[in-house]
Amino acid sequence: MAKPNYTNWNKEDLIKEVEALKKQKTFGLVWERDKTKEVFDYYLNWDGTQNKETFGEEEGKFPVLQEVKTKSIDNQDPKYNIMIEGDNYHALAVLNFTHNKAIDVIYIDPPYNTGARNWKYNNDYVDKEDAYRHSKWLNFMEKRLKIAKNLLKKDGVLICAIDENELWRLGCLLEEVFFDYETHLVTIVHNPKGVQGKNFSYTNEFAFFVVPRGQKVIGNRKLREDEIYWSNLRNWGGESLRTDARNCFYPIIVKGDKIVGFGDVPKNDFHPKAQTEKKGDLYHIYPIDIQGVERKWRYARQSVESIKDFLKVRKSKDRIEIEIGKDFGTVRTVWQDAKYDASEYGTKLVNALVPNGNFDFPKSVYAVFDCIYPIISERKNAVVLDYFAGSGTTGHATMMLNKQDGGNRKFILCTNNENKISEEVCYPRIKAVIKGNEKYQDITGIKDNFKYFKTDFVDSAPTDQNKKKIVDKSTEMLCIKENAFKPIIDKKGYKVFKNSDIHLGIIFDDEQIDKFVKEAKSIKGKFHVYVFSFDDSVPKEEFKIMEGRIKLCPIPEVILHVYRKIFK
């Protein structure tokens, strides 16, 4: 890149240049920020002052949400999965209000910046000849990562898929943005056939796991059958005799090929006639070795039922052995399995669920499943976010995990609608997973709720008129924040929604407070009420009759307070 020629610069411009150079980092990741700003850096001016350069129809606007009610899917579940169509920067801004510190895991699969003209920046495709290609990508990613970080719980985890094109720059960027986290890199073989390069055939991509420093938040992975090490439940070696632990000698009851129960610890003077005793259609198995020595099980009678799922029956010619093998283990840093094949369990799966869809290179649903599983397998009510949702694989993987263990996890998907990906790929796929597909019955037909929103915009100039407009369009954001979607009261000046725990009240006109209180006071339960106010105050006296079961918040101030922090 050519260096600037300062020969003809005037004194004022040279001073500005010197000041700018002083502010530049002298170490770490450095890129051309000023020359690669995103368009909305200019036209989203949150103080309401218009820049002389304006771009796009959303110029000088605040993001809000508008529900597309025709795309709602209801299956009698109090919680809803959410999809937001629009630029993910605006969606993340909204989520900073609705889901601050509320997300368990963020999984993203951003553009890989291959230079193949498959990624747009400021409405233009970026190719290999673009001198600012990497700087544009870093600007794009940093802006989103910074506000996404606000959404993670204290024990929340970010997972970011990537390939070799931006691997090293992304690693540096993650360490800068998530400076108080640990960053770990996993290799996933997703294309066994390989993509031919000049020197190597690429068969893998990567996933960064960004975890809170010093915390144990990555759980175990599920093992394949061929990875499980099976060993006899009967003890051997030193201190393995019956006399070494009385409570570890008892019969394990088998019927067919299944363990159906555990007998009581017998008296000391009881000695089984054989290791395997047949009693009707049941077999009682004792920890007696092939020499006839009475030994002990590795688990006492009072604890063995807790590991029943890890046991299996192995039959030989004249006896039955009980073996133990745990189907979980520590997550490894290299993943190689046929189920990670992006062609077989990405492209073919999406084509089956959305026959007329058009999406290049979807992830294997099992690769995404195994990424989020170690983090949320024990979090049955976790919230999962993907703000590069693409074909909706993360939502599908979340529903699969719920189907497997009966969990109630929810997902939030954010995507633009370029090439109609939101309307014609992502949404139809989620709908198909809920409805079911004959070819994939084991991973579809998962009943769930779903709501579809689009980003909308309101003028940002700090006028009373604009504040009123924000409040008038705040219903969807407030319903999402409180997870309250069931309408109870729907009047022109106020509304009430309900979830399983609280009632959400929204008062759009302060002159309607008395009418709201008159209706709401007879409704049992707690209320979170958002009241229109031109400042940050709320008239508490009018709500005194509901004191003790009502929480009051001024709108739009609670929303504007969040936006002021984001859009500096």
Q: Are residues 534 and 438 in the same domain?
A: no
Q: Within a domain: residue 560? A: yes
Q: Are residues 141 and 92 in the same domain?
A: yes
Q: Is 514 helix (H, G, I), strand (E, B) or coil?
A: helix
Q: Within a domain: residue 67? A: yes
Closest CA to 257 of 324, 318, 315: 315
Q: Are residues 437 and 345 in the same domain?
A: yes
Q: Are residues 445 and 487 in the same domain?
A: no
Q: Within a domain: residue 137? A: yes
- In SS3 terms, 385-444 reads as EECCCCCCHHHHHHHHHHHHHCCCCEEEEEECCHHHHHHHHHHHHHHHHHHCCHHHHHHC
Q: Within a domain: residue 243? A: yes
User: Given a cut of 90, is residue 239 above it in pLDDT?
Assistant: yes
Distance of alpha carbon 190 from alpha carbon 567, whole angstroms: 38
The reported pTM is 0.86
List CB contacts of 101: < 8 A, sequence separation 6 or more: 150, 151, 152, 153, 154
Q: Within a domain: residue 53? A: no
Q: Within a domain: residue 124? A: yes
Tokens 């796009």 belong to residue: 56
Closest CA to 331 of 223, 181, 205, 191: 223
- For 336, other C-beta atoms within 10 Å of its C-beta total 13
Q: Are residues 473 and 562 in the same domain?
A: yes
pLDDT at residue number 27: 61
Q: Are residues 376 and 292 in the same domain?
A: no
Q: Are residues 483 and 436 in the same domain?
A: no
Mean pLDDT (the chain) is 91
Q: Within a domain: residue 129? A: yes
Q: How many domains does the chain have?
A: 3
Residues 280, 282, 288, 291, Cα dihedral to 10°: 60
Q: Are residues 78 and 103 in the same domain?
A: yes
| Boundary of a domain, candidates 435, 454, 473 | 454
User: Given a cut of 80, is residue 110 above it in pLDDT?
Assistant: yes
Closest CA to 494 of 479, 511, 470, 477: 511
Q: State pLDDT tens for residues 436-446.
A: 999 999 999 99
| Boundary of a domain, candidates 291, 326, 361 | 326
We report the CATH number of the domain holding residue 522 as: 3.40.1350
Distance of alpha carbon 77 from alpha carbon 311, whole angstroms: 35
Per the structure, the complete domain to which residue 77 belongs is given by 63-179+338-454
| Boundary of a domain, candidates 270, 302, 326 | 326
Q: Are residues 361 and 393 in the same domain?
A: yes
pLDDT at residue number 53: 36
Closest CA to 358 of 396, 391, 331, 335: 391
Closest CA to 161 of 107, 114, 207, 211: 207
We report the CATH number of the domain holding residue 72 as: 3.40.50.150
Q: Are residues 173 and 246 in the same domain?
A: no
Q: Within a domain: residue 34? A: no
* Of 148 and 226, the one with more pLDDT: 148
Tokens linked to 363: 């992830």
Q: ∠ at Cα 282 (279, 288), nearest 5°?
A: 80
pLDDT at residue number 253: 97
Q: Are residues 441 and 483 in the same domain?
A: no
Query: Looking only at Cα atoms, what is the longest distance across the chain?
Result: 105
pLDDT at residue number 398: 98
Q: Are residues 477 and 494 in the same domain?
A: yes
For residues 200-216, give the mean pLDDT: 96
pLDDT at residue number 40: 61
Q: Is 459 helix (H, G, I), strand (E, B) or coil?
A: strand
